[in-house]
Structure 1
Amino acid sequence: STSSYRSSLIRAPLVWMDGEFRENIDIRINDKGRIEEIGDNLSSREGESVVTLENQALLPGFVNTHSHAFHRFLRGRSFIGEQSATTFWGWRDNMYALVENIDWTTLKQYCSAVFSEMLSAGITTVGEFHYVHHGEKRFDLDSAVLEAAKEAGIRITLIQTLYQRGGFASPPLAPAQERFVSSFDDFIASVELLDALAHERATVAVAAHSLRAVDPPTTQRLWEYARSTHRPFHIHLEEQPKEIADCLSSTGQTPSEWLLGMGVDGGATAVHATFTPQERMEAFGKAGVHISVCPCTEGYLGDGVPVVDETTRLCLGTDCNNRISLLEEMRWAAFSQMAKHNSRAVASLTARRLFEAATVTGAASLGLSEVTGKLAKGYAFDFLTIDLASPLLKDCPTSQLLDSIVFSLDNREIVQVGVDGDVRYARK
């Protein structure tokens, strides 16, 4: 049963807006779950329900820009520390085994469980990087993801992902990979079909899985399609040195050189960029390209730590979903950089910048800049609240609250979470 704040006036002791916590802000939510007015001392209308959020700070919900929901079902199978766990590529074989015999019902169950867990972690929007397309029929699994998101109540950008080959030399496909592959034209038809299926909280973006899986000319074609249809474009980029070496020997350029040559801009998001060199990261920053880092996964898989500076358009993802916490992703985005550089001031990764990576910049990466990521007039009321009475925040002045949330708190301090004004998680 969903309680709702639609058609209500909400009074909160603290609200994160315009880059700071403001005291005693009122927010009027319309019947569609959008913010109609936000400000000091709004007077209530006749018959309008007025709700006071006692001891709760109100913040925009988190935006998770990179998820593979089904990976969560590899939990407990990390084999970390054992010889069998040496590389990313070995882990990938386990992941393929998980989807070898997958069907619509199983994928929907996987996604439903993960999307509900995300809501409990304050994540109100997810970018689901989806490439497991074919079950019993071609592309029949895609609708399972949309259906699961609709049921859970999370906002979703379904990042429909093109996958054409198993590597630069087009080696024979593993059985699991047969579920991923399609021609360009069939893929575009699937994207347009998904547009028709998309519910009110769903949008459809596109991705090239990687330059390993899609050759550069086809990747360029997909980027041009994304631009002409105003869709976000995502791609896994340079997560492993092997991808760079193979791309260079097979095509004469590295993946990041190819991508920059295509004229990517703010409509594009490169995921990981773990081994992308500084000059290319700077070029991405200048072009406005978003970089989705997934520090908990990059640590879990032993990938590495990317080059990040002040110009990086940083957003965050939970990727393999082994642990779902954007609070933890924020911290580790900073801690990994700090440890790498033996410095506490790297790339201006303040609590505020990290929080923006998890909200406004994430929304921009998913093409939702006008919809979510902040509490402002005209935006969806996608929110989370933090327990101000928590012993973890004892004696914390308002000026230090965001720093405490980002660097000290856990999902447990999240009291309630909502999308479009409907409460989707309430702490027991």
Structure 2
Amino acid sequence: MMDLKGHTLFAPKAWLRGHLTNNVRFSIDSDGKLSAIEAGVEPKDGDVKLENKLVLPGFINAHSHAFHKQMRGSSGIGSKSKTNFWKWRNSMYQIVENITFEKLYQYCCETFKEMLMAGITTVGEFHYVHHGKDRFDLDEAVIKAAEDTGIRLVLIETLYCRGGFNDEPLQAAQKRFSSELSEFQDQVEHLIDLVQDKPNVTIAVAAHSLRAVDPNTVRELWRWAKELNLAFHIHIEEQPKEIEDCLEALGSTPNEVVLRQNPDLNELWTMVHCTYTNKSIMAKLASARANICVCPLTEGFLGDGIPDLSENDQVCLGTDCNNRLSFVEEMRWLAYCQNMVKNKRNHAGLDAVQLLKIATENGAKSLALEKKVGELAVGMAADLVALDLSTPTFASLKEGDCPVDAWVFGGGNSDISQVVVSGITTYERK
């Protein structure tokens, strides 16, 4: 990994504060932060020249289950039944039934390396596979994998208590996920202490879902997380069966229950999926400034559905099951799905500029990292992606055409030539 700390980069084009900017120098300090940015200037002797490159902020993946990538190649599982998601889920559990520290570390390393190749510089790992030989020993496998691959990690430590809305017992594999609230809180506090000297690792918390955590415990966990100012995530309303089961058990939809139990819900919350959430509830979530994490490639792969989005929603992106790792595909399919459902273009304002903002700034907000990453600005981490403007993706561009628009709607991972996290080159195309 090339260390660029203490160096200055020069790029002919860069994306600064929502605008394409020419001839930019980025100075990186010894802590891997951007200490100076100059635009409209010539390179100086000693600059690291990113010739014919466009520099973007690093992409922020707000929702991942790294080990799910091990399901790649098994796409036919459950495809012949309307219960396909649930059959897929049960097959996924088999991967972790006999999981070890070494296996989970390997799975995470493989996934994190592939994320870096896709320009993802920060990942929010929604982690619930806690117990191997010892209680919570697998948590540190994820941290070690992130450190060894160089990706920035938000470990979203996830509470999992039960097997369904009626307190059904856990399946054998699910017992690796489970803990009581007090034990879970002790582990989160331990992890916060553990990462104090790891600048590229932070901790968030999640209630896995209302299936897995009862509403009163969700409320108690949120109150505690709020005191610690931790980002708080939850899977919610991804599948019709989840809503049907919740209505039968609690008389309300999952989001209705969460909003009623947590009137202080705010921007620290991220609701993952909201695939079947109605417009009135989406409006309430937007009013509360909650984040909505959409995972288009996974939701398409599993046949989940398409959420009903508007321009008011605070949307971010996740790769979820990681079957296909391309953040630019997540961006454009977020727009394409909305356009198809609404039978119009640019629904919810999802043009290239907005999609790039969703992939960077909005992701940072979801992970409570907006003061550290998400844009190229002085004081922020030097997390960046360099696109090679000499590839066929950009060959037909004319004067006045926008290369960001060209890439978001026409490019791919193959256009990415270099990825930097905290001033360290973590991926360079050979």
Give the TM-score band, short-chain normalised: over 0.9
Question: Structure 1 residue 412 and structure 2 residue 414: aligned?
Answer: yes
Q: How does 1:292-303 map to 2 (within 5 A)?
A: 292-303=293-304
CA distance in 2, matches of 1:50, 1:327: 29
Paired residue for 1:79? Answer: 76
Deviations along 1:3-54, one digit per CA (max 9) or x if unpaired, are 1221111111001001011000111111111000112367989xx8411110
Q: 1:82 to 1:160 in 2, by over 3 A?
A: closer
CA contact (8 A) 1:143 1:197 kept: no
Aligned length: 425
Paired residue for 2:151? Answer: 154
Paired residue for 1:61? Answer: 58
Paired residue for 1:25? Answer: 24
Query: 1:342 Cα shift?
Result: 1.1
What SS is found at the alignment partner of 2:402?
Answer: helix
CA contact (8 A) 2:66 2:108 kept: yes
CA distance in 1, matches of 2:426, 2:420: 5
CA distance in 2, matches of 1:84, 1:96: 19
CA distance in 2, matches of 1:399, 1:368: 32
CA distance in 1, matches of 2:115, 2:342: 31
| Aligned residue identity for 1:63 | I
Q: 1:129 to 1:335 in 2, by over 3 A?
A: same
What SS is found at the alignment partner of 1:31?
Answer: coil
What SS is found at the alignment partner of 2:203?
Answer: strand
Paired residue for 2:404? Answer: 402
CA contact (8 A) 2:57 2:374 kept: yes
Q: 1:220 to 1:82 in 2, by over 3 A?
A: closer
Of the structure 1 ranges 76-85 and 131-140, higher mean CA displacement relative to structure 2 is found in: 76-85
Paired residue for 1:341? Answer: 342
Question: Structure 1 residue 355 and structure 2 residue 352: aligned?
Answer: no
Deviations along 1:51-101, one digit per CA (max 9) or x if unpaired, are 111010011010000000000000000106842685100000100001000
CA contact (8 A) 1:9 1:44 kept: no
What SS is found at the alignment partner of 2:244?
Answer: helix
What SS is found at the alignment partner of 1:138?
Answer: coil
Query: 1:171 Cα shift?
Result: 1.7
Paired residue for 2:222? Answer: 223
Question: Aligned to 2:98, which of 90, 96, 101?
Answer: 101
What SS is found at the alignment partner of 1:178?
Answer: helix
Paired residue for 1:233? Answer: 232
Paired residue for 1:284? Answer: 285
Paired residue for 2:313? Answer: 312
CA distance in 1, matches of 2:57, 2:206: 26
What SS is found at the alignment partner of 1:358?
Answer: helix
CA contact (8 A) 1:24 1:40 kept: yes
What SS is found at the alignment partner of 2:417?
Answer: strand
What SS is found at the alignment partner of 1:83?
Answer: coil
| Aligned residue identity for 2:36 | E
CA contact (8 A) 2:77 2:88 kept: no
Q: How does 1:98-137 map to 2 (within 5 A)?
A: 98-137=95-134
Query: 1:323 Cα shift?
Result: 0.4
What SS is found at the alignment partner of 2:146?
Answer: helix
Query: 1:218 Cα shift?
Result: 0.5
Of the structure 1 ranges 241-250 and 389-398, higher mean CA displacement relative to structure 2 is found in: 389-398
Percent identical pairs in the alignment equals 48
CA distance in 1, matches of 2:400, 2:7: 26
Deviations along 1:158-208, one digit per CA (max 9) or x if unpaired, are 000000001001222111000001000000011011112222200000000
What SS is found at the alignment partner of 1:315?
Answer: strand
Query: 1:238 Cα shift?
Result: 0.4
Q: Please, which runs of 5 or more residues in structure 2 have no aligned partner?
A: none
What SS is found at the alignment partner of 1:13?
Answer: strand
Paired residue for 2:14? Answer: 15
Paired residue for 2:388? Answer: 387
Query: 1:412 Cα shift?
Result: 0.5
CA contact (8 A) 1:7 1:49 kept: no
CA contact (8 A) 1:79 1:85 kept: no
CA distance in 1, matches of 2:219, 2:85: 27
Deviations along 1:240-259, one digit per CA (max 9) or x if unpaired, are 11111111221122111122
CA distance in 1, matches of 2:6, 2:416: 23
Q: How does 1:184-223 map to 2 (within 5 A)?
A: 184-198=181-195, 199-223=198-222
CA contact (8 A) 2:419 2:425 kept: yes
CA contact (8 A) 1:327 1:410 kept: yes
Query: 1:395 Cα shift?
Result: 3.4
| Aligned residue identity for 1:223 | W
What SS is found at the alignment partner of 2:36?
Answer: strand
CA contact (8 A) 2:393 2:407 kept: no
Paired residue for 1:256? Answer: 255
- Normalised by the length of structure 1, the TM-score is 0.97
Question: Aligned to 1:179, which of 172, 176, 181?
Answer: 176
